[in-house]
């Protein structure tokens, strides 16, 4: 019997990057368990992590390059694939210009640094401005909201909080280490759950079943109560903020009585909520990703930031706090031209001299189908599945069919890969080393760990950096890609920190590269133009947006008439998280399918019965954008007149119901949440 090696590493099956121990026997991964020494996960590993042996050896994994010919797939060599791709790219660049190529990363690199970094490198080498990513629909909206308010991105610190607000988030599915912590406290904190669905953690505190799409109204009403009852931190506001007087006047119209009509909460509930939050310091709002994905998403996140500010819950333990991010090597090369979406949403792209490396992905279909502002003819997708993850899937399908070149590099034959001309086999994170450094970005922990390679690549799979490097060489950019090994690349990333692959390898469980400090505000380190926390944003005003949070009631932008709105009486939100899947990933793994075997629409039993729908029946969910056939599931915890559908299912793709418009005017983010729909038996 071969010796079992136990290799400490990092699982990047989702953004949290939990510590893991890989058990390898005879060169094969046989088991994965949690790493007790890890400061975030502390030995916990979710079902996805435990299923990694199934995942990496899955029978439907892509093992070699393939080319689509006459409707079927033909196996080819890597050299043949690179020759075909490079020839097409050279031809397209000569005919249409470099901007006719768009790249897409399903990861922006926070948990998978090398994927995005090398795509950025190739972008600059080729000369296209159009690197696109999931930042167009996820997380960057809140980053911008924080930057406009605090000058930087702050992280929630729930462990030292006396009051925790779980606002439209379900940690059991999306942040399990937090759920484990809260249960371990035994309800010893003031836990507030604001959610149209009563989640399991609501048993530890108070549940407020807010109506979908009304959260910004609620946040401003909470501010109204806090200010009118003198519960705000006057000293903090006077010393460290700008624009409080304008905000005080602004929220006067959002009384609990008025806002109760929009939110579905009573005025007394809103006051109770506000007082609990304001009088239990430190307090910490933990918002779900859903707030990024609404027409008033940035303004809602700004409202949360201001609630933290006026109660003095900024840069103290248990609140929202700053953190020292790791200094890593930068592979980007300059491109003068702005990417798609930068003109329409300038703040999404750049402000205060800070530019994003990404364009706004939602403008790609128009560039392909209408050739506006110019034609995009080639699209390379790595570690992503925009056919399922982006809104208005039918439009994306039409766009893919018009491309001269679609290349997908992935482990599995995704919905996007099925439309490609060339499909390439990608290494899993188990088959290449990297850095676990996301903890500062997502959890406020200044900690870094080597993500060790635990097995050799399966089949002919390549790491992403090798694909981009070899493609660059084929196009004559070889001098821009001098790295030959994973270790050399990691050395490059670590050099600004005075570290190297070999040095980091000396710390099997990683280490803290800095100590946390709580002095951003009191030492005048707020990096806004005024040097203060900007409750009133001149930057938003200068670009024609509301300088104070301004809520939008979704029907006002979804429908042109009340008659049209009446056709869709139910509230629909999409994209609920599952502990068994990460977006479109892991869907074919047998052990995970047992936990969540099929797509369903969650609906309150009383609402379902009013439509004559029984539990387990097939139904048609309809929005103005399309229809979806899916099984109904009675879930009493869901509020009446609300239906919930998770995303990522190819056999029941909820993005057949969503649209490229309307968008958040500041960021261009789509409106995935608080949609309206109708329901009928199939």
231 φ, ψ to 5°?
-95, 0
pLDDT at 452: 98
- Tell me the pLDDT tens digit for each residue of 174-216: 999 999 999 998 767 899 999 999 999 999 999 999 999 999 9
Residues 172 and 238 in one domain: yes
Q: Kind and range of the H or E element at 87?
A: helix 78-96
Residues 397 and 469 in one domain: yes
Q: 638: burial class by Cβ within 10 Å (0-12, 13-18, 19+)?
A: buried
- Written as six digits, the tokens of 344 are 């329409």
pLDDT at 185: 87
- Mean pLDDT across the stretch 653-674? 97
- Tell me the pLDDT tens digit for each residue of 464-507: 999 999 999 999 999 999 999 999 999 999 999 999 999 999 99
Length of the chain as a residue count = 682
In a domain, 57, yes or no: no
CA proximity to 421, closest of 461, 377, 453: 377
In a domain, 340, yes or no: no
Residues 109 and 179 in one domain: no
In a domain, 88, yes or no: yes
Average model confidence (pLDDT) for the chain? Answer: 96
3-state secondary structure labels for all residues of 120-142: HHHHHHHCCCCEEEHHHCCCHHH
pTM for this predicted structure: 0.97
Q: Report the distance separating Cα 477 and Cα 470, nearest Å.
A: 9
CA proximity to 154, closest of 436, 533, 513: 533
In a domain, 77, yes or no: yes
Report the CATH number that the domain containing residue 249 is assigned in CATH: 3.40.228.10
Report the CATH number that the domain containing residue 471 is assigned in CATH: 3.40.50.740
pLDDT at 350: 95
Report the CATH number that the domain containing residue 588 is assigned in CATH: 2.40.40.20
pLDDT at 333: 96
Query: What is the total count of domains within the chain?
Result: 3
pLDDT at 189: 82
Residues 590 and 475 in one domain: no
Query: Which CA distances in Å does 391 have to 427, 563, 653, 659?
Result: 28, 25, 10, 5
Q: Report the distance separating Cα 313 and Cα 519, nearest Å.
A: 13
CA 116 remoteness from chain centre: 14
pLDDT at 564: 94
User: Which has more confidence, 108 or 354?
Assistant: 354
In a domain, 13, yes or no: no
Q: Kind and range of the H or E element at 263?
A: helix 256-263
pLDDT at 112: 81
Residues 154 and 96 in one domain: no
3-state secondary structure of 78: helix
Query: Which CA distances in Å does 298 have to 283, 315, 549, 551?
Result: 21, 21, 8, 10
Extended strands (E) in 76-215: 101-105, 131-133, 155-156, 163-167, 190-194, 206-208
Q: Is the pLDDT of residue 1 over 80?
A: no
Residues 290 and 230 in one domain: yes
pLDDT at 187: 66
Residues 126 and 173 in one domain: no
pLDDT at 58: 98
Residues 560 and 654 in one domain: yes
In a domain, 534, yes or no: yes
Query: Which CA distances in Å does 309 have to 139, 225, 472, 659?
Result: 20, 15, 48, 34
Q: Is the pLDDT of residue 389 over 90?
A: yes
pLDDT at 140: 92
- Tell me the pLDDT tens digit for each residue of 125-141: 999 999 999 999 999 99
Q: Is the pLDDT of residue 323 over 90?
A: no
Banded pLDDT at 442 (limits 50, 70, 90): confident
Strands 354-355 and 378-382, bridge-based pairing: unpaired
Banded pLDDT at 109 (limits 50, 70, 90): low
DSSP label at 571?
E
Cis amide leading into 17 (omega within 30): no
Banded pLDDT at 288 (limits 50, 70, 90): very high
Please name the residue that has the structure tokens 């706004």.
Answer: 360
Q: Is the pLDDT of residue 608 over 70?
A: yes
Q: Where are the alpha helices (DSSP H) in 151-243?
A: 171-174, 176-184, 215-228, 234-240
Residues 237 and 104 in one domain: no
Q: Where are the alpha helices (DSSP H) in 351-485?
A: 364-369, 386-389, 393-402, 439-443, 464-474
Residues 366 and 429 in one domain: yes
CA proximity to 601, closest of 559, 653, 553, 670: 653
Structural domain that includes position 298: 141-323+519-542
DSSP secondary structure of 490-551: HHHHHGGGT--HHHHHT-TT-EE-S-----TTTTT---STTSSEESS-HHHHHTTS-SS---
Q: Kind and range of the H or E element at 119?
A: helix 113-126
Q: Is the pLDDT of residue 160 over 70?
A: yes
Q: Report the distance separating Cα 42 and Cα 59, nearest Å.
A: 32
3-state secondary structure labels for all residues of 58-77: CCCECCCCEEEECCEEEECC
In a domain, 9, yes or no: no
458: left (phi over 0), alpha (psi -120 to 50) or beta: beta
Q: Is the pLDDT of residue 144 over 70?
A: yes
Q: Report the distance separating Cα 147 and Cα 141, nearest Å.
A: 10
Q: Report the distance separating Cα 632 and Cα 277, nearest Å.
A: 37
Residues 498 and 561 in one domain: no
Do 429 and 12 contact (CB within 8 A), yes or no?
A: yes
Q: Where are the alpha helices (DSSP H) in 264-315?
A: 267-278, 297-310
Q: Report the distance separating Cα 397 and Cα 408, nearest Å.
A: 14
Q: Is the pLDDT of residue 108 over 90?
A: no
Please name the residue that has the structure tokens 């080319």.
Answer: 67
Strand partners, 72: 69
In a domain, 72, yes or no: yes
CA dihedral 586, 294, 571, 399 (to 10 degrees): -60
Residues 413 and 476 in one domain: yes
Q: Report the distance separating Cα 626 and Cα 481, nearest Å.
A: 45
pLDDT at 324: 87
- Mean pLDDT across the stretch 591-614? 98
Do 653 and 388 contact (CB within 8 A), yes or no?
A: yes
- Mean pLDDT across the stretch 642-666? 98
Query: What whole-number percentage of the chain has pLDDT above 90?
Result: 94
């Amino acid at each position: 019997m071969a010796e079992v090696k136990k290799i400490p590493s990092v699982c990047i099956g989702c953004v949290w990057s939990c510590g893991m121990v890989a058990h390898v026997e005879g060169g094969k991964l046989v088991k994965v368990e949690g790493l007790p020494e890890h400061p975030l996960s502390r030995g916990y590993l979710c079902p996805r992590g435990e299923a990694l042996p199934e995942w990496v050896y899955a029978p439907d994994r892509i093992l070699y390059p393939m080319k689509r010919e006459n409707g079927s797939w033909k196996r080819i060599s890597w050299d043949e694939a690179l020759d075909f791709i490079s020839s097409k790219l050279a031809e397209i660049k000569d005919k249409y210009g470099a901007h006719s190529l768009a790249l897409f990363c399903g990861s922006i690199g926070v948990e998978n640094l090398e994927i995005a970094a090398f795509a950025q490198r190739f972008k600059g080498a080729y000369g296209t401005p159009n690197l696109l990513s999931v930042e167009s629909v996820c997380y960057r909206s809140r980053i911008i909201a924080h930057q406009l308010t605090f000058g930087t991105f702050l992280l929630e610190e729930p462990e030292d909080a006396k009051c925790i607000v779980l606002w439209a988030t379900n940690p059991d599915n999306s942040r399990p280490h937090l759920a484990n912590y809260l249960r371990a406290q035994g309800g010893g904190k003031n836990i507030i759950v604001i959610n149209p669905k009563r989640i399991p953690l609501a048993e530890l505190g108070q549940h407020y079943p807010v109506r979908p799409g009304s959260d910004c109204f609620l946040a401003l009403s909470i501010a109204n109560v806090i200010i009118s009852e003198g519960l705000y931190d006057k000293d903090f506001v006077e010393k460290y903020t700008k624009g409080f007087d304008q905000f005080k006047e602004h929220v006067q119209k959002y009384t609990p009585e008025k806002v109760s009509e929009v939110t579905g909460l009573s005025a007394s509930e809103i006051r109770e909520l506000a007082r609990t939050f304001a009088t239990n310091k430190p307090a910490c709002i933990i918002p779900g990703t859903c707030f990024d994905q609404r027409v008033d998403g940035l303004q809602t996140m700004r409202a949360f930031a201001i609630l933290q500010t006026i109660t003095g819950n900024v840069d103290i333990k248990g609140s929202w706090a700053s953190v020292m991010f790791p200094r890593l090597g930068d592979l980007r090369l300059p491109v003068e031209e702005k990417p798609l979406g930068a003109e329409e949403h300038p703040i999404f792209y750049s402000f205060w001299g800070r530019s994003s490396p990404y364009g706004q992905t939602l403008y790609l279909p128009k560039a392909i189908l209408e050739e506006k502002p110019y034609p995009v003819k080639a699209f390379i997708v790595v570690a992503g599945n925009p056919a399922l993850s982006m809104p208005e899937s039918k439009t994306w399908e039409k766009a893919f069919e018009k491309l001269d070149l679609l290349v997908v590099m992935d482990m599995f034959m995704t919905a996007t890969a099925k439309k490609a001309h060339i499909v390439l086999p990608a290494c899993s994170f188990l088959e290449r080393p990297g850095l676990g450094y996301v903890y500062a970005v997502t959890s406020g922990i200044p900690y870094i760990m080597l993500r060790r390679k635990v097995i050799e690549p399966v089949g002919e799979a390549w790491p992403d950096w090798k694909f981009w490097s070899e493609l660059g060489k084929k196009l004559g950019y070889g001098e821009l890609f001098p790295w030959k090994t994973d270790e050399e690349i990691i050395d490059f990333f670590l050099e600004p920190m005075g570290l190297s692959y070999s040095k980091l390898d000396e710390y099997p469980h990683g280490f803290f590269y800095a100590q946390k400090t709580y002095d951003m505000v009191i030492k005048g380190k707020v990096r806004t133009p005024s040097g203060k926390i900007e409750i009133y944003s001149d930057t938003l005003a200068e670009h024609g947006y509301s300088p104070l949070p301004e809520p939008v009631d979704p029907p006002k932008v979804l429908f042109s008439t009340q008659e049209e709105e009446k056709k869709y009486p139910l509230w629909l939100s999409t994209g609920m998280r599952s502990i068994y899947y990460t977006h479109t990933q892991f869907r074919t793994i047998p052990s995970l399918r047992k936990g969540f075997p099929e797509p369903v629409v969650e609906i309150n039993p009383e609402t379902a019965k009013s439509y004559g729908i029984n539990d387990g029946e097939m139904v048609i969910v309809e929005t103005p954008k399309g229809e979806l056939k899916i099984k109904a599931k009675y879930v009493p915890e869901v509020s009446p007149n609300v239906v919930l559908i998770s995303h990522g299912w190819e056999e029941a793709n909820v993005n057949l119901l969503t649209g490229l418009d309307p968008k958040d005017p500041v960021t261009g983010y789509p409106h995935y949440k608080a949609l309206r729909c109708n329901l009928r038996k199939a």
